[in-house]
Amino acid sequence: MANENHIEGKIDKNKIPAHIAIIMDGNGRWATEKGLPRHEGHRQGVEVVREIVRYCSKLNLKALTLYAFSTENWKRPLSEVNYLMSLPEKYLKEELPELIKNKVVVKVIGDQDKLPDKVRRATSEAVKKTAENDGMILNFAFNYGSRAEILTAVRKIVAEAEKGKIKKIDEKLFSSYLYTAEIPDPDLLIRTSGEKRISNFLLWQIAYAELWFTDVYWPDFKPDHLLEAIYDYQSRKRKFGKI
């Protein structure tokens, strides 16, 4: 693979995708292949989050959404789930001062009611303390599932319609009831680890996103891989249904 500086020189800085979403996959397999416990993969994955968040902020992205924990991840062994639940608090405690300094806006999407109190406190504090910032939106999908999100939106719309508050349902209105109502839809979706599926992630929002898959496990994902994805994105012609 070309080095980062070589790839960076090919990137058109005027055509950086406004919103990149990433399915951070492969932590467990990375650890297993190295003879390490799975939590070591997740620990290294957080280090990659730090690096990629900083780099995306440098690129002046408007939004970066990271799929951190899905509604299906509760099915994993309890010890692994408990470790995963410890990571948001640790990451935000360590990184919040820098995020504030860089004017990053922290947001969280997903069903927060089912999360442990310590996770809700940590994310709530980060959201509150960065709310007035005007830089990149760092959006964590935590306890997130797109089907659940869509069903929640439908239930809210039905309830409002029954009260006579909604007369017409269109795409714009529906989008306003999603977790991502204040965030532009992703232009580019990246998935690591070699898997080529969406895994219940932003199903409505990625309708016209460009998809980019890599065999690289998330703990090995570097800025040059991100740049490779952006370079490929810039080579595509986005038609949005047109010719």
Render pLDDT for 156-189 as a digit per residue (tens, 0 to 9). Answer: 999 999 999 998 999 999 999 999 999 999 999 9
Comparing CA positions, the residue from 183, 184, 186, 180 lying closest to residue 230 is: 186
* Mean residue pLDDT across the chain: 95
- What does the pLDDT average to over 211-231? 98
Whether 239 has a pLDDT exceeding 90, the answer reads: no
**Per the confidence metrics, is the pTM higher than 0.85?**
yes
Whether 221 has a pLDDT exceeding 50, the answer reads: yes
* Domain spanning 15-145+186-234, CATH architecture: 3-Layer(aba) Sandwich (3.40)
Catalytic residues: 25, 73
Whether 7 has a pLDDT exceeding 70, the answer reads: yes
What is the pLDDT confidence band of residue 2, given thresholds at 50, 70 and 90? very low
Q: What percent of the chain has pLDDT over 90?
A: 92
Locate the domains of the chain by residue range: 15-145+186-234
pLDDT tens, residue by residue, 102-118: 999 999 999 999 999 99
pLDDT tens, residue by residue, 11-27: 999 999 999 999 999 99
What are the distances in angstroms from CA 161 to CA 37, 46, 149, 166, 171? 50, 42, 18, 5, 15
